[in-house]
Structure 1
Amino acid sequence: MRTQVAIVGAGPAGVLLSHLLAADGVESVVVETRSEEYVASRIRAGMLEQSTVDLLRATGLGERLDREGDRHRGIHLQWPGERHHVDFVDLVGRSVWVYGQTEVQKDLVTAAHARGQELVYEVTGTLHELETDRPSVTFTDAAGVPQRLEADVVVGCDGSFGPTRAAVPDGVRRTWERTYPYSWLGILADVAPSTDELIYAWHPDGFALHSMRSATVSRFYLQVPNETDVADWSDDRIWDALAARLGHGQDGWQLATGPITEKAVLPMRSFVQQPMRHGRLFLAGDAAHIVPPTGAKGLNLAVADVALLAPALVAMLKGDHALADAYSDTALRRVWRCTHFSWWMTTMLHAGDDPFDRELQLSQLRWVTSSEAGAAGLAENYAGLPIGF
């Protein structure tokens, strides 16, 4: 097999990259270790920032998003006895949209099938000759047939557990990592949201987040200790904790409850690997960086990566290497900005045992919600910096 760009990973980053490349006449093949059904059903991010929405619209992928997505002007920040709205539109003129990663994936795959994009699922394989002009991916397909895919460039969009991250040699790559001393217990519930926009709640018992997926499905998160067993959290215990942390009854606000359809514990960590390029291998999305979900940056960072990478590869294949040579440094500026913002939101909102730290958190929340400058800084980062930042 021969193509111009071999893309490892058929999640949103990989399939969006293939879409952007195809728009400029560049051929690609996408290979994925999981099944198409598994990739399509993964429940991940649900908040799209302004730059992501603008890109999807500009590339013909925004029709269903505009029809079914839920535009939000901002978020609510809360602590016991107080709830404040931070209006992004008033502060920085930018919005965010609730539109699940599963829906983005559906739109991308539908467009891929419509243009005849080659997506190869359920493969096992390795990467070869990344420092030459003819890198390749060898794999066994779902039928058990060995294949060799030769390309001009290989792009790793295969997440934190894929092979491409490790393909950057030990002597070349540098990594930074932070594991947080708490996790999130996330649930999906068949109940209409009890809020118009997301509620981020600090509470002495731990952080809580009220999000949503649609007019009839709500998403909630609770701060829990690491190594929490989801079996220890009955439905009643979850609803009681959410009611306490989100302020059920405060100023007449009521938390609606309903059947819980999914429970999972999500670890919280930050990870950055650089460079995001080695020879003819480029990394994008979770293959190069991970952020805690508090700042809603994971999927949006992956979109920003491939938005930078696509024109760089198009130019490189025509003989102009300037953008490709700058890709890692350019992408990492945004990565570190978003990593800091995600850390800042996480450490501001998650309760610990130190009473000194708790008072600092409350002081910061009061400042953010009472200072236009403080609120604007949160709004600018949450709603999303321009792709080329």
Structure 2
Amino acid sequence: MALTFPLHRNPAPATDDDVARVLADPGFGDHFTDHMAVATWTKDGGWGADEIRPYGPFQIDPASAVLHYAQEIFEGLKAYRHADGSIHLFRPEANARRFQASAARMMLPQLPVEDFVRAVTELVGVDARWVPGAEGERSLYLRPFMFASEVFLGVRAAQTVTFSVIASPSGPYFTGGVKPVDIWVTDTWARAGVGGTGSAKCGGNYAASLIAQYEGYEHGCSQVLFIEAADKDRVEELGGMNVFLVTSDGRLVTPALTGTILEGITRDSILTVAGELGLVTEERRVTPDELFGGIADGTTVEAFSCGTAAVVTPIGAFKSGAGEWRLPGNGSPTTMAIRDAILDIQYGRVPDTHGWLRRVV
């Protein structure tokens, strides 16, 4: 039976003045709306106990399986307010399918696509006043997640699981405008390995990336790019984003999905719109020699990372212990054209010819 997420309204919601104050400068992940979606799965009963309820803490037993074996997954997507005041989600069904794939890898129950989408749309609908206006790339960030809540210390798939969606108003990722970032490159650390959880959106992958990311901070870099650590012959992805290269002859190149790379929704969207911008897209193995050599000889003229939070971020240089490879300071015209094309669809500034938007309000 499909979940309906009946509403149990927060008896003490934020005041309109409080909401206005948050939306004036929301930051990212600092503030949360009045409600959250919740459902529970049990081995014997399946999915149930679904509701929209007041935002608040979960009561977690110290023996809850997630605290010991990290059996959890999450997603990230946004709701956008268009100029006419309507609110839309961007490709929520794609997030739902990836959520299912992550669940299968982590031995968690698969939430039906329609239930995932219902949870998100119902939450956005009840907390619509928290969706910022269209100006300044503001949006409502949505975080669906699932975790093993069974109280049990044995090593096996949990028989009780909690699903939830929370929402957080989000300001522009770049408060001072979009600027190129420098990326640290490592083949020492790995966020995931062959046969591991790289294609699942689970917290362990992000935790595994932090040591390399902080190493990058020490070298003036804001993110880290991983080279496959065993054979050291394959570029993979950043700690939390996919990576693209733009060549001088009009090709858009990104590492192929090999099971160690997360299948990004923004990544997939870029591959679609790039063709409409006249680019030839290539998903294939990219070696470190190609990455660094292409920048050195002028074959690669731009590079960027992409993900839900920042959308598209131009890369200024790649750095490693072996040296620095700086891209031309040409304003990244192709990167910015791709970025604008994605944002124009999300905010309703151009027709949605792909059927990616889902109206909520």
TM over 0.5: no
Greater relative contact order (Cα < 8 A, sep 6+):
1
The TM-score with structure 1 as length reference comes to 0.27
The TM-score with structure 2 as length reference comes to 0.29
